[in-house]
């Protein structure tokens, strides 16, 4: 049993159907009871005393009476099974390989990583991107072009970049950014930074962290233009990027994320 924080439903559904393309929609439960009553009796009369014709005619009289009755009751209960995200994800959760050491996995392996601590790497970029996607920054024009409309189209491919640690090994993954309903059960994206979670995904091998973040660096440049930042602010951003370059130039295990869950312990 598990609680879902995030699920890529389209990806989860396709993989679940490859594992087993039959989803239970309803089931029947049959209860049958049977009761049988048997009644046997023997009656015997012996003619005694006297040599009368009647007594001789009676002689010996035997009577056997049998009665049997059966009561049968049959009840069929039909139950509808709701196809929920948990049911779709259950097959993946059962099939996924529990990770001992990430480097032992082949690229394309369906994996499950328990007890992962997560952090968001690009929170500043997220704030700027969300402002544009939600229309908080409007009427920005450059040489007659509506920059905000252009940016909203480009930023549809924006993503949250997460880093995590599993037994001393660094992992990284992306979650596509949406205007609303990014998470399940009214969770917020920052809730993933609290405590540890379990990750279900596809192993994509080792990659340079800087390469993974490169797309977000391009989006940050677009955000700076949309916010009408001055040249000095851009230069400051470049300096910050150079200072962080050594930190980001590291090898991480990249995961193509399917879902983020929390296993439940119910006594």
Reported as a single tens digit per residue, the pLDDT across 181-206 is: 889 989 999 999 999 999 999 999 99
Name the residue range of residue 39's domain.
31-63+72-76
Do residue 213 and residue 251 come from a single domain? yes
What domain count does the chain have? 2
Q: Which residues pair with 162 in a beta bridge?
A: 120, 173
Do residue 58 and residue 154 come from a single domain? no
Do residue 146 and residue 243 come from a single domain? yes
Q: Is 14 helix (H, G, I), strand (E, B) or coil?
A: helix
Do residue 108 and residue 53 come from a single domain? no
Q: What is the pLDDT of residue 20?
A: 82
Determine how β-strand 169-176 pairs with β-strand 159-166.
antiparallel
239 pLDDT tier (thresholds 50, 70, 90): very low
Cα 133 → chain centroid = 27
Do residue 188 and residue 243 come from a single domain? yes
Cα 177 to Cα 129: distance, rounded to the nearest angstrom: 9
- Put simply, whether the predicted model's pTM sits higher than 0.85 gets the answer no
The token pair at 239 is: 């300096």
Do residue 160 and residue 232 come from a single domain? yes
Determine how β-strand 145-146 pairs with β-strand 196-208.
unpaired
Do residue 11 and residue 58 come from a single domain? no
CB burial of 84-112 (b: ≥16 within 10 Å; e: otherwise) equals eebebbebbbeebeebeebeebeeebbbb
Do residue 37 and residue 119 come from a single domain? no
Decide if pLDDT at 48 tops 60.
no
Do residue 135 and residue 253 come from a single domain? yes
Do residue 10 and residue 141 come from a single domain? yes
Decide if pLDDT at 57 tops 60.
no
Q: Is 138 helix (H, G, I), strand (E, B) or coil?
A: coil
Q: What is the pLDDT of residue 29?
A: 62
Cα 5 to Cα 253: distance, rounded to the nearest angstrom: 21
Beta-carbon contacts of 134 under 8 Å, excluding residues fewer than 6 positions away, are 179
Do residue 193 and residue 135 come from a single domain? yes
Determine how β-strand 169-176 pairs with β-strand 251-263.
parallel
Do residue 55 and residue 179 come from a single domain? no
């Amino acid at each position: 049993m598990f609680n879902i924080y995030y699920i890529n439903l389209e990806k989860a559904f396709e993989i679940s159907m490859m594992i087993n393309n039959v989803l239970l929609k309803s089931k029947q439960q049959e209860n049958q009871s049977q009761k049988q009553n048997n009644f046997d009796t023997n009656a015997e009369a012996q003619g005694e005393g006297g040599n009368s014709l009647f007594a001789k005619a009676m002689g010996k009289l035997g009577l056997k009476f049998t009665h049997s009755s059966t009561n049968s009751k049959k009840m069929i209960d039909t139950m509808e099974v709701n196809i929920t995200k948990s049911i779709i994800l259950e097959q993946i959760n059962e099939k996924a390989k529990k990770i001992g050491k990430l480097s032992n996995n082949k690229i394309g392996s369906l994996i499950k990583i328990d007890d992962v601590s997560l952090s968001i790497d690009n929170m500043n970029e997220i704030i700027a991107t969300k402002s544009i996607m939600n229309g908080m920054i409007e009427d920005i024009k450059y040489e007659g072009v509506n920059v905000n409309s252009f940016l909203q189209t480009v930023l549809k491919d924006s993503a949250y970049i997460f880093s995590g640690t599993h037994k001393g090994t660094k992992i990284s993954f992306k979650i596509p950014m949406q205007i609303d309903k990014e998470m399940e059960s009214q969770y917020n994206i920052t809730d993933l930074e609290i405590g540890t979670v379990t990750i279900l995904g596809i192993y994509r091998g080792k990659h340079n962290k800087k390469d993974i973040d490169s797309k977000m660096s391009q989006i940050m440049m677009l955000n700076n233009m949309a916010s009408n930042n001055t040249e000095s602010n851009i230069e400051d951003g470049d300096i910050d990027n150079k200072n962080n370059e050594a930190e980001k130039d590291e090898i991480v295990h990249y995961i193509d994320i399917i879902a983020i869950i929390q296993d439940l312990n119910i006594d």
